[in-house]
Structure 1
Amino acid sequence: MNTPVDRYDRLTRTFHWLTAAVVIFMFASAHIWENLEKGTPLRKGLQSVHISLGIALAVLILARIAWRLSGGTRLKADSHPALNLLAKMAHGCLYLLLLAQIVLGFLFRWAQGEPFNFFGLFSVPAPFAIDHAWRGTLGGLHDTVAWAIIGLAGLHACAALWHHSIKRDNTLRRMLPAPRDAV
């Protein structure tokens, strides 16, 4: 039976799963609207939600990094040192890719010169002018980084499932809520 020390704290788990859900929705929504006719309400709605969630993701990732640096649960590594190093490198790359994606998303939107707001509540003005000619480059980079995030996150999920199914260790359980009878 796991003790509370054997799993990540509730906030760390919430950050993890919320990030995963937002990233998956944003990736899917972008690929759905690409197949919709330009100017349709559904396409515009998906784009608007995507942009708003991008702003929310920026706040979420910054909060997640601050929590990790200041007080997030640190757990003893369960694996071989080489696997632990690989896991740390993958996590570091995921954080860097997420930060790069957020920056690219903001720059791309500002280069489009279109409104950039959070669920219609407030706008995010461009802090400097970005030449519209950069739209294609920034959009391409934003798309490439999205695929890199999905690929690396997929490997991350496969590694968790490998730990759970093949190694039969606690790696996956540490990121899941505690069973009710364990509390």
Structure 2
Amino acid sequence: MNVLADRFADPVAAHAEATIAHLGEDPSRPGLLDTPRRFAKAMRFLTGGYSLEPADVVGSGIFPAEGEGAVLVRNVEFHSLCEHHLLPFFGHVHVAYLPDKKIIGLSKIPRIVDLFARRMQVQERLTQQVADALVELLEPKGVMVVAEARHLCMAMRGVEKQNSSTATHALRGVYTLDAASRQEILSMIREP
């Protein structure tokens, strides 16, 4: 192993330094000297979602429902890492649910999105996980999650299509059966 890698107690930093050297760069040059440590810190932040579950980020943020209308939180920004190439993908998620007996504090929905986005992911799974978490926490009449993202694994390598984006959705409960209810949420998402 590279002698320089031994200076890092963090194995992620040590591996990053070795990777830099294997790619043909000099990890001891001034511009790269602290890169392995910064890389390890960034990766721990970007994958911090493994240490928590939805109930952890929601805490006491669930309350009795007082109305019957749908709840929609639009344009929740997220950043994640594609599990296939460890390159970023980013975009926004729209999360709607039709309460039954419980509602959730509005700030908790972005926290749930971030929880799952801060894992090595695929967009399809991220969308499903957000929907499933709300079903488990709230037992609502329905959940609809729509995610739109740009993937750097498509823009920077492979097909190199910088303007492509991907949309995914997850439907639960009433939104799987009732096209009018789905359309109502889609219309709300498109509103300015």
Larger Rg: 2
Would you tell me which structure has more helix in proportion to its own residues? 1
Would you tell me which structure has more strand in proportion to its own residues? 2
TM-score (norm 1): 0.27
